[in-house]
Amino acid sequence: MVGNKRKRRSSRPRPKKFDESKHRKIIDKLHDRMLGSELEKACDEIALDILTNYEGFEWVEKGPDFRGTPFDFFGLKNGAPYIIESKASLKSFNAPGETQKWRMQELLKRIEYLNIALLQLKLSKAEYRIFYDEEMEILFKGTKAPLDPIEEWIRERLG
C-alpha cells in the first residue's frame, strides 16, 4: 500500500529563517576552528534578536555566570518564566549534553511554573529552530544506550 502511506509527523520543530543581514559582521567572524562555547558566546546577540523579535519574548536577560549553569538566557514569554539554552553552529543544529539536560530537568522539578526552551542556530543557512516545553521531551527522553553491556564489561574486569 505504497500510495496510502501516512506521512509520519515529526515532533521536531521546523527550521525558520532569520534576517542574517543584521548580523553579517558577527557571522563573518565565525569559523570552523572556534571552540563551541566561543562560537555560542559570539552569537548571543543573534539569539537575543531571535527570542525578542521572532519568538515573542517580552524580556530576556543573560543567565547567571555560575559554574554549571545549564542555560544561557532567562526570559518571559506571555508572562511565563523560561530558562533558554542556545546552541549555535555553522552547519548543524546542536543539542545540549547529557549532564546539561539533567541539570535543566532538575531545575524544572524544583521551580514550579518554570518553562524551558532550546534555541538552535544554523548560521550558514541563517536558520533557527526552537523547542518549547513539550517538544523538549524528544531530547529529554530520547533513545538511551543500554548500560547492561557496559556494566557486564566492567564486572568481567573486576573478577
Distance (Å, whole) CA 124 – CA 57: 25
Phi, psi of 50 (to 5 degrees): -65, -45
Asked, for residue 3, whether it belongs to a domain, the answer is no
Asked if residue 83 lies in contact with residue 132, where contact means CB atoms within 8 angstroms, the answer is: no
| 20: helix, strand or coil | helix
Distance (Å, whole) CA 74 – CA 67: 16
Asked, for residue 104, whether it belongs to a domain, the answer is yes
Give the per-residue pLDDT at 8.
40
Residue 130: give the domain boundaries: 13-158
Domain of 64, CATH number, reads 3.40.1350
What does pTM read for this prediction?
0.80
Asked, for residue 62, whether it belongs to a domain, the answer is yes
Give the per-residue pLDDT at 15.
95
The closest of 41, 64, 146, 139 to 98, measured between CA atoms, is: 139
Asked, for residue 131, whether it belongs to a domain, the answer is yes
- Please write the tens of the pLDDT for every residue from 67-112: 888 999 999 999 999 999 999 998 999 888 888 888 898 899 999 8
Give the per-residue pLDDT at 2.
43
Provide the domain count of the chain: 1
Percentage of residues of the chain with pLDDT beyond 90 = 43
The mean pLDDT values, 10 residues at a time, for the chain of 159 residues are 42 89 87 77 93 97 90 95 94 88 90 94 93 81 69 79
Give the per-residue pLDDT at 6.
40
Asked, for residue 8, whether it belongs to a domain, the answer is no
Residue 72: DSSP 8-state: S
CA atoms within 13 A on the CB side of 155: 6
